C-alpha cells in the first residue's frame, strides 16, 4: 500500500465486509433478545445496515472500483465473542445486556471507521463519496445513542 487512495480503498473494503457481516449478526441479536423493543431496534438497524451496504457499493461505483473480498477482523472478533457467549448458557436478562454491549462495541467501531474514511475522502476531494459515507455515519451514531439508552435501563 503506497497511496492514500489505496488506504482509502482498503478502509472501504473493510467497512463493507463489516456491514455485510452485521446484516447477519443483527438478525441473530434480534432473535436472541427477549425484550420486544430491543428486538425491534436490532431489526430496524439491520434494515439500515442493508442500506449502508448499498451506499458503500455506490462509493465503489463512483470511484470506478470494484470491492475486494476482505474480512473485517474487528467485527469478526465480536461475532466470535457473541457465539462463544451464547454457548455459556446465559440467563435471558443477561443475554439482553450482552447484546446491547456488543451492539455498542460494533457501532463504536463502525463510527470510527466512517469518520476516518470521511476525513480521507475530504482530503482527496471525493465529495459525493463523502456524502454517502456521512449518511451511513449519521445512522450509526443514531443507532449507538439508542443502544446506550438501552444500556442505561435494566435490560
Q: With bands split at pLDDT 50, 70 and 90, how would you rate the model's confidence at 153?
A: low
pLDDT tens digits for range 45-94: 999 999 999 999 999 999 999 999 999 999 999 999 999 999 999 998 89
Distance CA 101, CA 87 (A): 17
The predicted model scores a pTM of: 0.93
How many Å is the Cα radius of gyration of the chain?
A: 16
What pLDDT score was predicted for residue 150?
Answer: 87
**72 phi and psi, to 5 degrees?**
-80, 105
CATH code for the domain defined by 4-150: 1.20.1260.10
Average pLDDT for residues 87-109, to the nearest whole number?
A: 94
User: Where are the domains positioned within the chain?
Assistant: 4-150
Taken as a whole, the chain contains a residue count of: 155
Helix intervals (H) in 33-126: 36-63, 73-86, 92-123
Residue reference for cell 435490560? 155
Alpha-carbon 9 to chain mean position? 17
Residue 89, sorted as left (phi over 0), alpha (psi -120 to 50) or beta, turns out to be: left
Contact 146, 95 (CB under 8 A): no
Question: First-to-last CA distance in the chain?
Answer: 44
Amino acid at each position: 500500500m503506497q497511496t492514500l487512495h489505496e488506504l482509502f480503498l482498503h478502509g472501504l473494503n473493510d467497512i463493507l465486509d463489516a456491514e455485510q457481516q452485521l446484516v447477519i449478526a443483527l438478525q441473530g441479536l434480534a432473535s436472541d433478545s427477549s425484550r420486544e423493543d430491543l428486538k425491534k431496534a436490532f431489526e430496524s438497524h439491520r434494515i439500515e445496515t442493508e442500506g449502508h451496504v448499498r451506499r458503500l457499493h455506490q462509493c465503489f461505483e463512483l470511484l470506478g472500483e470494484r470491492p475486494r473480498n476482505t474480512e473485517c477482523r474487528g467485527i469478526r472478533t465480536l461475532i466470535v465473542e457473541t457465539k462463544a457467549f451464547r454457548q455459556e448458557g446465559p440467563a435471558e436478562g443477561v443475554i439482553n445486556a450482552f447484546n446491547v454491549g456488543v451492539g455498542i462495541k460494533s457501532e463504536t467501531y463502525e463510527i470510527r471507521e466512517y469518520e476516518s474514511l470521511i476525513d480521507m475522502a475530504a482530503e482527496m476531494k471525493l465529495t459525493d463519496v463523502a456524502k454517502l459515507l456521512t449518511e451511513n455515519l449519521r445512522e450509526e451514531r443514531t443507532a449507538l445513542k439508542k443502544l446506550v439508552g438501552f444500556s442505561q435501563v435494566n435490560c
